[in-house]
Amino acid sequence: MKRKLTKKLMVGNVPIGGDAPISVQTMTKTKTADIESTINQIKSCKNAGADIIRITVNDEAAADAMKEICAECTKFIPIVADIHFNHIFAIKAIKAGVNKVRINPGNIGSNDRIKEVLDVAKSYNIPIRIGVNSGSIEKEILEKYQYPCDKALYDSAMKHIEICNNFGFDDLIISVKSTNVPLMIDAYRLISQKTDYPLHLGVTEAGTYRMGTLKSAIGIGTLLNEGIGDTIRVSLTDEPEKEVIFGDDILKVIGLRDSKIEVISCPTCGRLEVNLFDIAKKVEEATKNIDKNLKIAIMGCVVNGPGEAKEADLGVACGKGVGILFKKGEMIEKIPEKDIVNRLIYEIENI
């Protein structure tokens, strides 16, 4: 996989684009005016692995809260202001200390208002994300194409890129999101072919955890595997920490971020003679925060078990009430089922 090299921009101390690592974003789900709750959620997301976090600035109280939130949080994570409808909130957020602003230029008013935002962003040396969604394409573009399509998303984004460029502003990050996964993929492919701006990937309003993770894995994962994309956000009707963890997992599965502990386990079948569900879940949970790059194989029978266990750093191939422990390809010993979890954890911690 050859990644497309885009323009590199800085969001606080996090680079986006070029050869920079792909970053994972999320968005707070508290009321921004509740400063304490918002700061606590930002810290929780940072602990979950977020690289960048976005906050809605949707009213006067939220705009007023941004100064205190930025003063506390930009020390350890870049903060992005999410702006709709009111360009004054964007200006206030920039002056409060945010590291990036996300706007949908189509809904913040005239070109003069867009220019005001761009001028302030330029003076504070922060980038702007132009966020185009299939649900908010301008009326004249929809009339041209009759329905949301990849070309409509592309035209909308290019329209606002041109406005920014005409005002002398070029520090842009682009997103062309849709709830429809094939449409989202096509739109990002198109804009990647036509521009060198860094791209923020996401399936917008992806849904609850079950469908949202599925849509995001397919949409974001497909594009990343084609070398398209510089930063990602998984959008779930769920806690933001889950968005971060799943986004991180997408990068790990594709090989764009080092795994910590990778647990491989078989799907099981009628040959199974141990409680592999329980063993695998307990090992995965116990090792999720261990900072070691190890592959652990937990296999249920002798068909693929010994081979997979030998290939892993540590592995067990299970039989009737027992597991054969393998370490770096060597068979070590037979372990009773009741001891498999504790023994694997011990070996992981001491390897």
171 and 299 both lie in a single domain: no
Boundary (domain end) residue, out of 254, 277, 292: 254
Domain that holds residue 312: 261-350
Reported pTM: 0.90
Boundary (domain end) residue, out of 205, 224, 254: 254
CB distance 202 to 234 below 8 Å: yes
Beta strands in 37-78 (DSSP E): 52-56
Phi/psi at 9 (5° precision)? -125, 160
202 and 332 both lie in a single domain: no
Q: What share of the chain is helix, strand, coil (3-state, %, to 5)?
A: 45, 20, 35
pLDDT at 110: 79
pLDDT at 260: 77
DSSP state letter for 319: -
Angle of helix 60-73 versus helix 35-48 axis, rounded to 10: 50
283 and 343 both lie in a single domain: yes
Task: Report yes or no on 306 lying in a domain.
Answer: yes
118 and 242 both lie in a single domain: yes
Q: Say if strands 23-27 and 79-83 run parallel, antiparallel, or are unpaired.
A: unpaired
Task: Report yes or no on 1 lying in a domain.
Answer: no
Task: Report yes or no on 265 lying in a domain.
Answer: yes
169 and 27 both lie in a single domain: yes
* Torsion angle in degrees (nearest 10) through CA of 108, 223, 259, 310: 160
CB distance 130 to 121 below 8 Å: no
The tens place of each residue's pLDDT in the chain, 351 residues long, gives: 689 999 999 999 999 999 999 999 999 999 999 999 999 999 999 999 999 999 999 999 999 999 999 999 999 999 999 998 888 999 999 999 999 999 876 667 678 888 999 999 999 999 999 999 888 888 898 889 988 899 999 999 999 999 999 999 999 999 999 999 999 999 999 999 999 999 999 999 889 999 999 999 999 999 999 999 999 999 999 999 999 999 999 999 998 988 778 888 989 888 888 999 999 999 988 888 787 888 899 988 877 778 888 888 999 999 899 999 999 989 999 999 999 999 999 999 888
Alpha carbons 288 and 286: distance in angstroms, whole number: 6
Task: Report yes or no on 268 lying in a domain.
Answer: yes
Angle at 212 between CA 105 and CA 227, to 5 degrees: 70
Place of tokens 């949970």: 285
DSSP state letter for 257: S
* CATH number of residue 194's parent domain: 3.20.20.20
Positive/negative CA dihedral, 252, 255, 257, 262: positive
Q: How far is CA 308 from the centre of its chain?
A: 30
* CATH number of residue 286's parent domain: 3.30.413.10
Boundary (domain end) residue, out of 204, 219, 254: 254
188 and 331 both lie in a single domain: no
189 and 329 both lie in a single domain: no
DSSP state letter for 171: -
Task: Report yes or no on 165 lying in a domain.
Answer: yes
83 and 185 both lie in a single domain: yes
Q: Between the CA of residue 238 and those of 28, 45, 111, 234, 241, what are the distances in Å? A: 11, 13, 36, 11, 9
Residues in the chain: 351
156 and 239 both lie in a single domain: yes
Residue among 123, 126, 76 at smallest CA distance from 101: 126
249 and 304 both lie in a single domain: no
* Torsion angle in degrees (nearest 10) through CA of 83, 150, 6, 175: 20
Residue type, 173: I
Domain count for the chain: 2
Task: Report yes or no on 2 lying in a domain.
Answer: no
Structure tokens that stand for 214 in this block: 């599925």
